[in-house]
Amino acid sequence: MARSRERGSQVVEFALVLLPLCAMVFLILDMAWAFYVKSTLQNGVREGVRYAITSQTMTGLGQDASIKSVVQQNAMGLLAGSAGAALIDIQYFLPNTLAPVSGLNSNQGGNIVEVSVQGYSLPPLGPILRNPAPLSLGAQAFDRMEGSPGGIPPAR
């Protein structure tokens, strides 16, 4: 008689353990994926700045388009296509005042270049323990521009 009353208890216990276990596994996977994406974006912009400070350009592209291409190549496919390129921003600043500079010679030697990715949307893998809204990630890096060969900066 006692056995018949305990028949479904194992299924109930399993369900009570499985739900929190799955929630924890999805939370760990979600956080690991977010850390991976953040570090990949940071690596991409860091490589873009390294490329930018040398005043190099790719054949047929201006300097800004070349920098964006380098960032995309180093972002492991996260910033692929024109949608990914639209998230990449390149700005130049004066070294003494940090005032933004635009125009022809904004990328001259001595100025500071900042390459950033803002607004990368990362949807949750398992929205069990957090808001199902996408996480917005970004990364930025900056460095001082080296002097261009011949003192003339490349076309932006």
In a domain, 115, yes or no: yes
Which of 50 and 31 is assigned the larger pLDDT?
A: 50
Least trusted range by pLDDT, from 14-28, 52-66, 120-134: 120-134
**Could you count the other beta carbons within 10 Å of the beta carbon of residue 92?**
22
149 pLDDT exceeds 90? no
For 76: left if phi > 0, alpha if psi spans -120 to 50, otherwise beta; the answer is left
In a domain, 84, yes or no: yes
Handedness of CA 138, 114, 48, 60 (dihedral sign): positive
Average per-residue pLDDT in the chain? 90
Total of domains in the chain: 1
Q: What is the pTM of this model?
A: 0.85
Confidence of residue 23 (pLDDT cuts 50, 70, 90): confident
**Could you count the other beta carbons within 10 Å of the beta carbon of residue 139?**
21
Pick from 38, 39, 45: nearest CA to 91: 45
In a domain, 156, yes or no: no
Q: Residue 7 has what pLDDT?
A: 73
In a domain, 146, yes or no: yes
